[in-house]
Chains A and B, each alone.
Chain A
Amino acid sequence: MKQTIRVTVNGRVYQEDVEPRILLAHFLRENIGLTGTHIGCVVGECGACSVLLDSKVVKSCLHFAVQADGREITTIEGLAKDGELNPVQEAFVKNYAFQCGYCTPGMVMTSYALLQTNPNPTEAEIRKALAGNLCMCTGYVQIVDAVKEAAKQQSTAKV
Chain B
Amino acid sequence: MADKKYIGARSRSKEGPRHVTGRGLYTDDFTLPGILQAMILRSPHAHAKINSVDPSEALKNPDVMAVVTPEDVKRQTKPFKPGRYAAGLKRPIDEYAGAIEKVRYVGEPLGAVAARSRGAAEDALELIQVDYEPLRPVVDVREAIKPSSATLFDELGTNLAWQGSLQYGDIAAAFKSADRVVKENLKIHRYSSTPLEPFVVIASYDAASKRLTVWVTAQVPEVIYDGVREALGLEDVRVIIPDVGGGFGQKIHLIRKYVVLVSLLAMKTGRPVKWIEDRSEHMMAGGHACAQEFEAEAAVKNDGTVLGLRFNEYDDVGGSISTLTIHFTNKLNNLSNTYRTPAIHMIGNAVVTNKCPVIPNRGIGKPGMCYIWERMMDRVAQELNLTPIEVRRKNLIQPNEMPYRTISGNVYDSGDYPGLLSTLLEKIDYDKLREEQKKAREQGRLMGIGIVIGVEPGGRNAARDMAIFPEMKEPPGSGGVNGATIKLEKNGTLSLHLGSPNCGQAHETTTAQVAAEVLGTTPDQISTSIPFDSDLSPWGVAAANSGNNFHLYDIGAIHGAATKLREKVLRLAAHVLSTDPKELTIENGVVQVPGSAMKKITFAELGRIAYNNQHLIPEGMEAGLQATHYYTFPHAKPNIVPGADRLVRAQFTFSAGAHAAIVEVDKTTGMVEVKRYMIVGDNGTVINPDVVNGQVYGSAAHGIAVALGEGFIYSSEGQPLTITYLDYGKCSAAETPRVEVVHRPSPSPFTSVGQKAAGEGAAIPSPAAIASAVEDALQPFGVKVRELPLSPEAVWRLANDNPETERRSF
| Interface presence of B734 (CB below 8 A) | yes
Q: Are B702 and A136 in contact (CB under 8 A)?
A: yes
* Residues A96 and B197 in contact in the complex (CB < 8 Å), given A41-B724, A101-B18: no
* Residues A92 and B698 in contact in the complex (CB < 8 Å), given A48-B196, A98-B15, A137-B504: no
Q: Are A136 and B119 in contact (CB under 8 A)?
A: no
Q: Considering the chains assembled together, what is the distance between the CA atoms of A92 and B13 in angstroms?
A: 10
Q: Are A98 and B279 in contact (CB under 8 A)?
A: no
Contact residues of B between 501 and 519, Cβ < 8 Å to A: 503-506
Chain A residues in 8 Å Cβ range of B248: 136
Q: B-facing mask of A106-146, CB < 8 A → 1, else 0?
A: 00100000000000000100111011111111111111100
B contact patch SS: loop
| Interface presence of A75 (CB below 8 A) | yes
Q: Are A85 and B13 in contact (CB under 8 A)?
A: no
Q: Are B20 and A89 in contact (CB under 8 A)?
A: yes
Q: Considering the chains assembled together, what is the distance between the CA atoms of A138 and B29 in angstroms?
A: 23
Q: Are B246 and A93 in contact (CB under 8 A)?
A: no
| Interface presence of B736 (CB below 8 A) | yes
Residue of A76, A79, A90, A138 near B697 (CB, 8 A) is A138
Q: Are B738 and A38 in contact (CB under 8 A)?
A: no
Chain A residues in 8 Å Cβ range of B193: 136
| Interface presence of B23 (CB below 8 A) | yes
Chain A residues in 8 Å Cβ range of B695: 99
Q: Considering the chains assembled together, what is the distance between the CA atoms of A131 and B739 in angstroms?
A: 17
Residue of B12, B13, B26, B690 near A38 (CB, 8 A) is B26
Chain A residues in 8 Å Cβ range of B246: 99-100, 102, 136-137
| Interface presence of A19 (CB below 8 A) | yes
Q: Are A131 and B21 in contact (CB under 8 A)?
A: no
Q: Are B698 and A98 in contact (CB under 8 A)?
A: no
| Interface presence of A42 (CB below 8 A) | yes
Q: Considering the chains assembled together, what is the distance between the CA atoms of A40 and B217 in angstroms?
A: 14
* Residues A85 and B697 in contact in the complex (CB < 8 Å), given A128-B734, A134-B732: no
Q: Which of A29-37, A52-60, A151-159 contacts B (4 or more CB under 8 A)?
A: A29-37
**Size bracket of the A interface:** 35 or more
| Interface presence of B278 (CB below 8 A) | yes
Residue of A46, A93, A126, A137 near B725 (CB, 8 A) is A46
| Interface presence of A13 (CB below 8 A) | no
Q: Considering the chains assembled together, what is the distance between the CA atoms of A89 and B22 in angstroms?
A: 10
Q: Are A102 and B24 in contact (CB under 8 A)?
A: yes
Q: B-facing mask of A51-84, CB < 8 A → 1, else 0?
A: 0000000000000000000000001110110000
Q: Are A140 and B701 in contact (CB under 8 A)?
A: yes
Q: Considering the chains assembled together, what is the distance between the CA atoms of A133 and B725 in angstroms?
A: 11
Chain B residues in 8 Å Cβ range of A40: 196-198, 245, 279
Q: Are B700 and A139 in contact (CB under 8 A)?
A: yes
Residue of B13, B119, B702, B739 ringed by the most chain A CB atoms within 10 A: B13
| Interface presence of B315 (CB below 8 A) | no
Q: Are A134 and B119 in contact (CB under 8 A)?
A: no
Q: Are B697 and A21 in contact (CB under 8 A)?
A: no
Chain A residues in 8 Å Cβ range of B698: 99, 136-139
Contact residues of B between 187 and 203, Cβ < 8 Å to A: 193-198
A88 smallest CB distance to B (angstroms): 8
Chain B residues in 8 Å Cβ range of A143: 733
Q: A-facing mask of B5-43, CB < 8 A → 1, else 0?
A: 000000011011111111111101100000000000000
Chain B residues in 8 Å Cβ range of A134: 196, 725, 730, 732
Chain B residues in 8 Å Cβ range of A99: 246, 504-506, 694-695, 698
Q: Are A131 and B22 in contact (CB under 8 A)?
A: no
| Interface presence of B563 (CB below 8 A) | no
Q: Considering the chains assembled together, what is the distance between the CA atoms of A35 and B701 in angstroms?
A: 29
Chain B residues in 8 Å Cβ range of A142: 690, 693-694, 697
Chain B residues in 8 Å Cβ range of A79: 21
Residue of B nearest to A34 (CB): B22
| Interface presence of B124 (CB below 8 A) | no
Q: Are B20 and A92 in contact (CB under 8 A)?
A: yes
Q: Are A85 and B733 in contact (CB under 8 A)?
A: no
Q: Are A98 and B16 in contact (CB under 8 A)?
A: yes
Q: Which residues of A contact B (CB under 8 A)?
A: 19, 21, 29, 34-43, 45-46, 48, 75-77, 79-80, 85, 89-90, 92-96, 98-105, 108, 123, 126-128, 130-144
Q: Which residues of B contact A (CB under 8 A)?
A: 12-13, 15-26, 28-29, 119, 193-198, 243-248, 278-279, 503-506, 690-691, 693-695, 697-702, 724-726, 730, 732-734, 736, 738-739
| Given contact pairs A100-B245, A137-B504, a sample of 5 additional A-B residue pairs in the complex whose CB atoms are under 8 Å apart | A41-B279, A41-B724, A92-B16, A96-B16, A141-B738
